[in-house]
Amino acid sequence: MCQADVYLGDQLVAKEVTGLEPVEEGVRLAAFFEEPQIVPGRIRRIDFLKHQVWLDPLEEEKE
């Protein structure tokens, strides 16, 4: 199967992710038998051989 583990910084935030979509609020993650979740981050790196995705946290907007 082609599922990936997703990390926000060094913290594992989702396992066996089947879909990943950039959205305005961050990245939407989908997995089998679970509701999609939105992680407030941006894609830093994807390793297809290791089935791993690394996200960087979104920076807070300064007013």
pLDDT at residue 60 tops 90: no
Read off the pLDDT of residues 15-31 as tens digits, 9 standing for 90 and up.
999 999 999 999 999 99
Q: Give pLDDT, residue 2.
A: 83
Mean model confidence pLDDT for the chain? 93
Residues contacting residue 43 through CB under 8 Å, at least 6 positions apart: 20, 22, 27, 53, 54, 55
13-42 CB burial, b ≥16 within 10 A, e <16:
bbeebeebeeeeebbebebeeeeeeebebe
Q: Where are the domains of the chain?
A: 4-27+35-53
Instruction: Give the span between the Cα atoms of 63 and 13, in whole angstroms.
Output: 29
Q: Give pLDDT, residue 1.
A: 67
